[in-house]
Structure 1
Amino acid sequence: MSTEDGPPSEQRPSQVPSTGTMLVDTSRRDRVGEFRGVAGPYWSLRPVSGGAEWEAEPANVREPSPIERLRAEIARCNARSEGRIL
């Protein structure tokens, strides 16, 4: 793996992102989710391939690397083709 494929250590969102923005929660083993909204001091994220939302501290959230984004998009396509999400 090259260093370009690794997680970007300093690409933290500087403000509240738009709904649907793909983010990585570093406190949950780099779990990728889509931003859903603000819940008190936390940001609500939902798995890209469907599932229950979770809350993340904004300090633990960063933008995904290109490979993380690609993996999440593939997971979404697979879930859609299997009928797990619309």
Structure 2
Amino acid sequence: MTGEYAIDVRDGRMGRVMGRVGPYVQLRPPGGGKEWDCPPEHVRPVALGEVLRARVREINAQGRLP
């Protein structure tokens, strides 16, 4: 599951699974940002279309010039 995208069903945020810390799954927003903890029972898989949109946002964010 690490590296895959998931949805935090508590608020609908999508994040990339970065790992686990204690009982929580750590998610990071597409394109980077601050990780947040989510109880595993509140994590659901993401549909392919949602993943593709998230990857495009990540790639676009990486290509921005300062």
TM-score for both structures, normalised by structure 1: 0.68
Q: 1:35-57 CA distances to partner (integer Å, 9 max, x unpaired)?
A: 11111111111112100000001
Structure with the higher fraction of residues in strand conformation:
2
Residue 22 (1) aligns with residue 5 (2): yes
| Aligned pairs for 1:1-86 within 5 A | 17=1, 19-28=2-11, 30-83=12-65
- Say which one has the larger Rg: 1
**Root mean square deviation, CA, Å:** 1.5
Number of aligned residue pairs: give it.
66
Moved beyond 2 Å, runs of 4+: none
What are the Cα deviations for residues 28-81 of structure 1, in whole angstroms up to 9, with x where unaligned?
A: 2x2111111111111111112100000001111111112211110111111011
Q: Percent identity?
A: 38
Q: Which runs of 5+ in 1 are unaligned?
A: 1-16
Stretches of structure 2 lacking an aligned partner (at least 5 in a row)? none
